[in-house]
Chain A
Amino acid sequence: MPKLKVSLITGRTINQGRGKEMGKLSKEYLESVVICQIDPNDMKFLGVKENTNVKVITDFGSVVLKAVKSARAPHPKIVFIPYGPWASFIMNPKTHGTGMSSLKGIPAEVEPAPNEKVLSLQNLLNQFRKERR
């Protein structure tokens, strides 16, 4: 299966901003944060179409998200995920003594995962519950 080494950027989108104000459990919010914006050429390389699931892997974990064609290409080998529980799941916790974990420009890999499902918020939170004392 094709794999693409990318630089992962997280950030705000207007849909995520609007969704979070409508409620963190609202459909609008949940739909706005489970996407991964990819350059159209990179999507072609990966052989994925819009709304196909892809797996984003970093040194700190992996998460399945819906691939979305970036509206403002080109930005080869840069993928974007809106802030949210799914993006945070694979972020680098190291702060290098600044208090700030790294949330942008993280080395990552993207691969197609058409048969894997995007975790629901409940399932994502259950992973933390398992760790509770």
Chain B
Amino acid sequence: MTVITGVTCPVCGTFCDDIELVVKDNVIIDVRNACAMGAAKFLSYAAHRSLKPLVRKNGELVEASMDEAVEKAAKILVDAAYPILYGWSNTSCEAIRVGLELAEEVGGVIDNTSTVCHGPSILSVQDVGIASCTLGQLRHRADLIFYWASNPWSAHPRHIERYTMFSEGRFQKSTWRGYLSRLSGGLSRKRLQRAVNLVLRRDIFTTPEVKRRMPYSMFQKKRKMVVVDVRKTRTAEAADYFLQVEPNKDYELLQAMRMLIRDEELDVDEVAGVPVETLEEVADIMVGCELGVFFFGLGLTMSEGKHRNVDAALHLTRDLNQRTKFLIMPMRGHFNVTGVNIVFTWQTGYPYAIDFSHGYPRYNPGETSVIDILNRDEADASLIVASDPVAHFPRKTVQNLVKNPLIAIDPEVSPTTLLADVVFPSAFVGIEAEGTAYRMDHVPLPLKKIVEPPKTCLSDEEILRKILQKVHKMRRNQN
């Protein structure tokens, strides 16, 4: 039995690097420090996987040799006029580099999952610019933390603990104890309310009055957290203050904030469902902080306005920097989604949605992004690496994806691999294969190899290299 320390967790963008694993006979038997998602991955990653490459014959997926699968995959890519190479956020930078080479060789479009995640944020950063930093700075110095349209409690479970409210920084103390006492107070209040409802036979569905008054903790000189979201989440419960914004109204709220920061008057009573008095109080607190930060999530990029919402958030940060120090950071989802953008950019000049069909890289999201290409039904084959678009793309888009030949490289069985024509089960990067990945604040960290993969499962990088070599050979023969 060995204990391996300092393991990075290949799940979410927080990319924790303090995981400890207990390994016995090439099996992980215990996990320490990980969140529910990390622990689930380390302990049951091997529960649903196929071990051998699969090729579709007569409508059924049947086991095949690696050579046969590589041959078939290479033929699909060589025969295609406009193939899509999509996914990449759940694999290592080394595999992504090979993927780019393959995309250039076959003259296809290479896109990553940020296209349906923080793609609009990237567009906006290119337009406006971003004032950002590493998470270590925020852990030690930030005294006002905003989670805007983001729910780290569910999507990045250790973000609050490692980098913001519950982390013990050099200049900012953890607010963990305060949260615990507030939580137990809240629970007793709820219990009492329930008892009163029972006694008075009151309808338990009565909507509780929403408190608009700013709590005392917002005026104390200590770390504070504000959550802005369309519904109350667990993150919102842990916050000092929660602003409930109407769906699709973030843009209005952000622009109203900008006006207040610039000492302009708003001649309405409320904006996006929030009273202007409340906004004025929040604006005062923002201007009064020493170092504030916005962490924004997909609530901005996925709702109406998309990159314009992020534009407003970036502009608000810029305006705030005239009065105090404020930073902003997107809450990236997958553990290496930042890494894909970085590798794509240093190889081609562009972060996502790159079209090689002209022989040189072209970038025009809306035209060369994978959802748009599929909606227009232009692609005639696809290679999906470490991603599950069948589960996460809209129905019409998926229909156009699966009707053409589909190759999937994925360690897990997923809806995408179930509908694919060639499936390569790969080794789990970060557990069975090494590599490099970038945390959400652009810090590169190593992915460790903890256990040996099954003999038939190669890493994503090795599989892609085999396909690339085969494609080279076929194209040479064609010419």
Q: Given A72-B232, A73-B207, A98–B247 Cβ distance below 8 Å?
A: no
CA distance A17 to B151 in the complex (A): 12
Asked whether B395 lies within 8 Å of A91 as measured between CB atoms, the reply is yes
Of A7, A89, A100, most buried by chain B (CB within 10 Å of CB) is A100
Q: Smallest CB–CB gap between B140 and chain A, Å?
A: 28
Interface string of A87-127 (1 = CB under 8 A from B): 01111111111111111110000000000000001000100
Chain A interface SS verdict (over half): loop
Please report which residues of chain A, range 1-19, place their CB below 8 angstroms from some CB of chain B when the two chains form the complex.
7, 9-14, 17-19
Q: Which of B319-327, B407-415, B447-455 lies at the interface?
A: B407-415
Q: Given A70-B231, A101-B397, A104-B298, A131–B155 Cβ distance below 8 Å?
A: no
Asked whether A24 lies within 8 Å of B120 as measured between CB atoms, the reply is no
A residues less than 8 Å from B413 (CB atoms): 23-25
CA distance A80 to B353 in the complex (A): 29
Asked whether A7 lies within 8 Å of B372 as measured between CB atoms, the reply is no
The contact size tier of chain A is 35 or more
Asked whether B390 lies within 8 Å of A41 as measured between CB atoms, the reply is no
Please report which residues of chain B, range 119-163, place their CB below 8 angstroms from some CB of chain A when the two chains form the complex.
119-120, 123, 151, 153-155, 157
A residues less than 8 Å from B353 (CB atoms): 99
Q: Which of B97-105, B301-309, B434-442 lies at the interface?
A: B301-309
A residues less than 8 Å from B27 (CB atoms): none
Asked whether B302 lies within 8 Å of A100 as measured between CB atoms, the reply is yes
B residues less than 8 Å from A133 (CB atoms): 403-404
The contact size tier of chain B is 35 or more
CA distance A131 to B398 in the complex (A): 10
CA distance A21 to B388 in the complex (A): 13
CA distance A85 to B248 in the complex (A): 23
CA distance A73 to B36 in the complex (A): 24
CA distance A128 to B151 in the complex (A): 32
CA distance A39 to B119 in the complex (A): 31
B24 within 8 A of A: no
CA distance A128 to B328 in the complex (A): 40
Please report which residues of chain A, range 49-96, place their CB below 8 angstroms from some CB of chain B when the two chains form the complex.
60-61, 70, 72-76, 78, 80, 83-85, 88-96
Please report which residues of chain B, range 362-385, place their CB below 8 angstroms from some CB of chain A when the two chains form the complex.
365-366, 369-372, 375
Asked whether A93 lies within 8 Å of B418 as measured between CB atoms, the reply is no
CA distance A95 to B398 in the complex (A): 15
Asked whether A93 lies within 8 Å of B36 as measured between CB atoms, the reply is no
Q: Which of B41-49, B177-185, B277-285, B456-464 lies at the interface?
A: B41-49
Of A24, A85, A102, A129, most buried by chain B (CB within 10 Å of CB) is A24
Q: Given A11-B151, A14-B37, A128-B402, A23–B248 Cβ distance below 8 Å?
A: no
Interface string of B290-306 (1 = CB under 8 A from A): 00000000110111101
A residues less than 8 Å from B393 (CB atoms): 88, 93, 101
Asked whether A23 lies within 8 Å of B375 as measured between CB atoms, the reply is no
Determine which of B154, B237, B366, B418 lies in contact with A98 in the assembled complex, contact meaning CB atoms within 8 Å. B366
Asked whether B402 lies within 8 Å of A72 as measured between CB atoms, the reply is no
Closest residue of chain A to B372 (Cβ to Cβ) is: A95
B26 within 8 A of A: no
Asked whether B415 lies within 8 Å of A24 as measured between CB atoms, the reply is yes
Asked whether A24 lies within 8 Å of B414 as measured between CB atoms, the reply is yes
B residues less than 8 Å from A24 (CB atoms): 48, 388, 391, 412-415
B233 within 8 A of A: yes
CA distance A72 to B123 in the complex (A): 34
Determine which of B41, B49, B306 lies in contact with A96 in the assembled complex, contact meaning CB atoms within 8 Å. B306
5 chain-A/chain-B pairs, Cβ below 8 angstroms = A9-B247, A17-B12, A21-B41, A72-B232, A100-B116
A residues near B (Cβ < 8 Å) are 7, 9-14, 17-19, 21-26, 40-41, 44, 60-61, 70, 72-76, 78, 80, 83-85, 88-105, 121, 125, 128-129, 131-133
